[in-house]
Amino acid sequence: MVLISILSIPIIAIVFILFQQSKQGVKHVALFFAILQLLCLSYGIYEYQGLNSILYDEFQKNLIPNLGISIHTGINSIGFLMLCLTSIITISSILVSWSFDDKPKLYFMQFFILNLSAFGFFTNFNLFVLFLFLELAVVPKFLLIYIWGSGKNKFYSMMLLISLMLGSVLILGGIIFLSLQHQTIIPDFLDITKFRQLGLPYLNQKIIFFLLFFGFSVFGALFPFHFWVPGAHGSAPTAGSMFLAGVSMKLGSYGCFLVVYFMFPNVALEYKHFFIILALITIIYGAILTLQQNDLKFLNAYSSISHCGLITLGLFLFNSYGLLGSFYQLISHGLMSGLMFAVIGMIYYRTHTKNLKRLGGLLQNIPFISTLFILGGLCSLGMPGFSSFVAEFLVLFGTWLADNNSFFYKMATLIAALTLIFSALYIIKIFNKTVFGALPIKFNEVHDAYWYEKLAGSLLSFLLIILGLAPQLIFNFMEKDVILFLNKL
Amino acid sequence: MNYLIIYKYELFLLISIVYLVLVILFSKILNSKQFYIQVCVLAMAGLALHFLPLKPTLLSPFFIDSPKTNFIKLIVQLGTLLIVFQSFRWFINHEDKPCEFYILLFAAVLGIDLIISANHILIFYIALELVTFPLILLCGFNFRNLKSSESALKFFWLNALATGFILFGLSIMYMYKTDFSVAAFINLPPHYDKFYLINFIFVIAGISFKIGLAPFHNWAIDVYDGAPTPISFTLNTIPKIAYLLFFIKLVTEGIMHTAEKHMLLQIITILALASITIGNVFALRTQKIKRFLAYSSISQLGIVLFGILTSPAVANTNFMYFMISYLCTNFIVFYIINKLEIERQIQTWSDLKSLVYTDKFSCLVLVIGFVSLAGVPPSFGFFSKYYLILGAQYYGKITLILILLNLIIALIYYFNIIKLFFQKQHTINELNIIQPFYRYETFILVISCFVILCGGFFTDFYVYLFKLFS
């Protein structure tokens, strides 16, 4: 019941928004439904903790047996955490765009389509249905950037569309190849939980693995496929980039996790060094590119690439520290990039510039927003006491312990740890150039955060600190599932 | 009576034609609201025929009546209804001879129904002509426009050529057989030499010409451009159902079982690849609206041609499933284009710049249509293409990669146009007088949009189709 209600709430919200007359009414409706979704979800978590089943609200049905299309839904603990993240990001991005007046109906409708896509993706286990939910978000993302974006949004929206479609064509190719290999032996051969029973030839497994993994990593911004991220995130509207960085990129990483742990662990084990090298390149390359940026949004987008490299690194360690750190980074980075983009949006709204060279001294005039900015920055830097410290520490620890006799892992740990230095460099740089220093005269009149911005910012930063101080809350919740994934290998 | 019921669609269309002739002769209701309502009722009554009790299949030498043909004719009737709705809009501005228009339209539909049911080469050939001639007249229906007459003339000459090809192919059969049923044409005689296969090649070429597949596509572009928009829509959809069904029968039951099937299937694969690529590449650079739509439909049909290289049941299922989505999608796109053409005399896509600021509903419908044509999930268009690609058996990995790459090209040109609609415009042109949608129009468009957005999720329908055709 919880699953049906959380999936139907976005659809109902879209219908309600469609028939709203006033511009302010749209926002009230959107906020109401987003909070309702979070409440339903909390009830689900409350119920799930009492149960011992692996999947909450599990449901299976064959739809087209000879094509392998079936429904298999259910939520595990990772799914619950990702759904909570999506829900919180949705609420805070609606709050941030409270004063938004340019075609708000279309804007918030697209928001709920994005929300639906994420909710569907985290609760389904059939490859074809996963693909559908992943693709559901592509057109709304394109329109969000094209209509409401800033800067070179026309070019970057087309780039986003083409590169995401490239990713989905790779996934589609994988699904088609799989279906052609395998017909009418098991009626739901696209169900990823039953994937190991198929017994495909090893060569075919390799081909399908690479198609699917690279397809998902286009969405998750792994190194050779990261090129669309900065432009898209940099030119999207505030709430759009919050959602893109906070949730949509996580869909790709979560997809990679499914491919590696559920479908082809043996192929992944064989090629793990290759993927660890890719992840390291992503981390370092992203960080180096970040250092050279002058636009706040682009800077944050490049740092997202670097942080998402850690997720991939954690996935391929195949130990509990790596996997836990990887999931922790998924959540922590979602909240953190949401906060950073929200604050950058607030600054842009007041000063009409994102360029580091024209900003400065904001702490004197808009202390609340600057404080939020500092909190988000410290989290991005990996300061102890914030959630990303836990995640980075776990991943690095896992890398060191992955193989005690291997020189490769020791070097990998050292290289990955460089990200701490790089992130300190760029975060201190933007602190100096935006919040500290002399205040340009033209920014004297700007207003500090309004109530909705205060609410959204406090919510996100509060969660970041809570997750940093009490990681045990999350570990206890997902411990059982992580051990299960590793035992299944 | 029991004997007549197997001809229910054909008899009904004949009665409609006779009725409309009587209206011309004796009635004064022409061009009034009453007349259009009557046409609409006639087209809808055709849909109701589907629910008449079905008699056990009659083994007639000329005619097949089975649940399959019954269902296909239902879809053709549905297409006719959609065309009738489109033409209402057209006749608001062109007040010439609406009655003749519908007589010709129903005659063409009669021909299409006959092709679907034909069990004899003679019936097939006559029906082929019966489809073509009314459509030629309909292409030139806007006779005050020079382009329309040009398109009719082109259509006439070039389709005569195509029919010649088909007739030549069929006549080779006379040298080998005394039985002229369709089954005998498709199944090979016990002793044949390679010369016999030439008839297959000629028939394939002729039918590809009529459908407008790639090397034979040039006529289609000009004809679509010149013909009245409802007729472009007609040419685009329902005759192709009939031609392609015959094509599927020929491929899946005949060519697949010959010893030289690799050569013949290669010809079809080349046709398909050429259609997809040429359609997509030319659509990328085309600015004129109807020429663009013609190119895009060529590339769509290329994918169909891939999908039918498999067993008869799967091919028919996937093809009909595709055709339903194709019908709905093309309907909404052509409907809006038709309306905007009458309203603003648009020629190219750039005339539709910043449509969202002047006409929100049209813009939304067009975007939905393009998303489905581009095959972006989760629209109906994606599901139908996915099933077609999965169903096909006879192609290598390279062809598959080429098809998938073409999907990206298709995406680029459709979204280039969607981008135009959302471009910011500072001064809104006052001359754009917007005619409001009638209530029935909004209703039909919303239903079609719903089908396009959610149709793919009703997987039971696909399973039903598969059971029907196997």
Mean pLDDT of chain B: 86
Same domain for B342 and B237, yes or no, is no
Size of interface A-B (CB pairs under 8 A): 58
Residue B42 lies in a domain: yes
Q: What is the pLDDT of residue A459?
A: 92
- Across A233-247, A413-427, B19-33, B297-311, least confident range: B19-33
* Cβ neighbours of residue B56 closer than 8 Å, sequence gap 6 or more: none
Q: What is the pLDDT of residue B206?
A: 92
- Report the phi/psi class of residue B27: left, alpha or beta, with left for phi > 0 and alpha for psi in -120 to 50: beta
Pick the residue with more confidence: B7 or A457? A457
Q: B348 pairs with which residues across the strands?
A: B288
Same domain for B177 and B319, yes or no, is no
| Residue A422 sits at the chain B interface (C-beta within 8 Å) | no
Q: What is the DSSP string of A33-100?
A: HHHHHHHHHHHHHHHHHH---SSEEEEEEEEEGGGTEEEEEEE-HHHHHHHHHHHHHHHHHHHHTTT-
3-class secondary-structure state, position A318: coil
Residue B440 has pLDDT above 80, yes or no: yes
Q: How far is CA A336 from the centre of its chain?
A: 10
Residue B430 has pLDDT above 60, yes or no: no
| Residue A121 sits at the chain B interface (C-beta within 8 Å) | no
pLDDT in tens, B157-194: 999 999 999 999 888 877 777 788 888 888 777 777 77
Please give the Cα distance from A419 to A384 (Å, whole number): 15
Q: What single letter denotes the amino acid at residue B289?
A: I
Residue B429 has pLDDT above 80, yes or no: no
Query: Which B positions 335-374 lie with beta carbon below 8 A of chain A?
Result: 371
Yes or no, beta carbons of B422 and A146 under 8 Å apart: yes
Yes or no, beta carbons of A169 and B459 under 8 Å apart: no
Same domain for B213 and B343, yes or no, is no
* Cβ neighbours of residue B464 closer than 8 Å, sequence gap 6 or more: none
Please give the Cα distance from B79 to B286 (Å, whole number): 27
Q: What is the pLDDT of residue A190?
A: 85
Q: What is the pLDDT of residue B29?
A: 67
Chain A contacts of B463, Cβ < 8 Å? 63-64
| Residue A443 sits at the chain B interface (C-beta within 8 Å) | no
**Sign of the C-alpha dihedral computed for residues A65, A68, A70 and A73 taken in this order:** positive
Q: What is the pLDDT of residue A52?
A: 67
Same domain for B272 and B251, yes or no, is no
Closest CA to A160 of A278, A240, A86, A105: A240
For residue A467, give how far its alpha carbon lies from the nearest alpha carbon of chain B (Å): 36
Same domain for B96 and B239, yes or no, is yes
Closest CA to B363 of B425, B286, B281, B298: B425
Residue found under tokens 């893109």:
A244
Residue B455 has what DSSP assignment?
G
Q: Which of B382, B386, B408 sits opposite A162 (nearest CB)?
A: B408
Residue B202 has pLDDT above 60, yes or no: yes
Yes or no, beta carbons of B463 and A165 under 8 Å apart: no
Among B256, B276, B292, the domain boundary falls at B256
pLDDT in tens, B320-333: 999 999 999 999 99
CA distances from A348 to A234, A341, A398 (A): 12, 10, 39
Q: Do B15 and B4 form a contact (C-beta atoms < 8 A)? A: no
Yes or no, beta carbons of A169 and B408 under 8 Å apart: yes
Yes or no, beta carbons of B422 and A147 under 8 Å apart: yes
Q: What is the pLDDT of residue A326?
A: 92
Q: Which residues of A132-152 are buried (b: 16+ CB within 10 A; e: fewer)?
A: bbbbbbbbbbbbbbbbbbeee
| Residue B422 sits at the chain A interface (C-beta within 8 Å) | yes
Q: What is the pLDDT of residue A201?
A: 85
Rg (CA), chain A: 22
Residue B143 lies in a domain: yes
Task: Name the closest residue on chain A to residue B423, using Cα atoms.
Answer: A147
Please give the Cα distance from A86 to A480 (Å, whole number): 22
Same domain for B298 and B248, yes or no, is no
Residue B172 lies in a domain: yes
Q: What is the pLDDT of residue B156?
A: 92
Closest CA to B236 of B171, B154, B328: B328
Yes or no, beta carbons of A154 and B401 under 8 Å apart: no
Same domain for B432 and B459, yes or no, is yes
B393: containing domain: 259-470
CA distances from B333 to B307, B371, B415, B432 (A): 24, 11, 14, 20
From the CB of residue A65, how many other CB atoms can be counted at a distance below 10 Å? 14
Residue found under tokens 């089954």:
B183
| Residue A25 sits at the chain B interface (C-beta within 8 Å) | no
* Mean pLDDT computed over B62-78: 88
Yes or no, beta carbons of B408 and A158 under 8 Å apart: no
Q: Do B400 and A173 form a contact (C-beta atoms < 8 A)? A: yes
3-class secondary-structure state, position B288: strand
Residue B215 has pLDDT above 70, yes or no: yes
| Residue A470 sits at the chain B interface (C-beta within 8 Å) | no
Residue B379 has what DSSP assignment?
S
Residue B189 has what DSSP assignment?
P
Q: Which two tokens stand for residue A237?
A: 């509207």
Same domain for B236 and B291, yes or no, is no
| Residue B146 sits at the chain A interface (C-beta within 8 Å) | no
Please give the Cα distance from B315 to A99 (Å, whole number): 54
The domain locations on chain A are: 271-489
pLDDT in tens, A386-438: 999 999 999 999 999 888 888 899 999 999 998 889 999 999 988 888 888 88
Q: Work out how many domains chain B is built from and give that number.
A: 2
The three-state DSSP-derived secondary structure of B307-372 is HCCCCHHHHHHHHHHHHHHHHHHHHHHHHHHHHHHHHHCCCEHHHHCCHHHHCHHHHHHHHHHHHH
Helix orientation angle between A228-235 and A153-181, rounded to the nearest 10 degrees? 130
Please give the Cα distance from A398 to A189 (Å, whole number): 34
| Residue A145 sits at the chain B interface (C-beta within 8 Å) | no
Same domain for B235 and B281, yes or no, is no
* Cβ neighbours of residue B104 closer than 8 Å, sequence gap 6 or more: B134, B135, B137, B138, B141
Model ipTM?
0.87
Same domain for B266 and B339, yes or no, is yes
Give ∠ CA A354-A377-A324 in degrees, rounded to 5: 130
From the CB of residue B95, how many other CB atoms can be counted at a distance below 10 Å? 9
3-class secondary-structure state, position B63: strand
Chain B contacts of A177, Cβ < 8 Å? 400
Please give the Cα distance from B331 to B450 (Å, whole number): 13
Q: Which of A215-219, A478-482, B49-53, B343-347 has the highest mean pLDDT?
A: A215-219
CA distances from A460 to A278, A456, B96, B316 (A): 31, 6, 67, 54
Please give the Cα distance from A430 to A362 (Å, whole number): 12
Chain B contacts of A169, Cβ < 8 Å? 404-405, 407-408
pLDDT in tens, A419-430: 889 999 999 988
Q: Mark the ranges of chain A whose per-residue pLDDT is less than 50.
A: none
Please give the Cα distance from A264 to B113 (Å, whole number): 51
Same domain for B317 and B248, yes or no, is no
Residue B374 lies in a domain: yes
Q: Which of B415, B463, B466 sits opposite A142 (nearest CB)?
A: B415
Closest CA to B64 of B118, B7, B130: B118
Yes or no, beta carbons of B419 and A146 under 8 Å apart: yes
- Across B12-16, B373-377, B449-453, least confident range: B373-377
Q: Residue A444 phi/psi, 5° resolution?
A: -65, -30
Q: Do B337 and B290 form a contact (C-beta atoms < 8 A)? A: yes
Q: What is the pLDDT of residue B426?
A: 65
Q: What is the pLDDT of residue B354?
A: 80
Q: What is the pLDDT of residue B259?
A: 77
Residue B340 lies in a domain: yes
Q: What is the pLDDT of residue A398?
A: 92
Q: What is the pLDDT of residue B384?
A: 92
Same domain for B179 and B290, yes or no, is no
Residue B190 lies in a domain: no
Pick the residue with more confidence: B57 or B23? B23
Q: What is the pLDDT of residue B359?
A: 82
Q: Where are the alpha helices (DSSP H) in B392-430?
A: 397-421
Query: Which B positions 367-396 lie with beta carbon below 8 A of chain A?
Result: 371, 376-378, 382, 386-387, 389-390
Mutate which of A18, A67, A133 to disrupt the B interface (most B C-beta within 10 Å)? Answer: A67
Residue B427 has pLDDT above 90, yes or no: no
Residue B191 lies in a domain: no
Task: Name the closest residue on chain A to residue B419, using Cα atoms.
Answer: A146
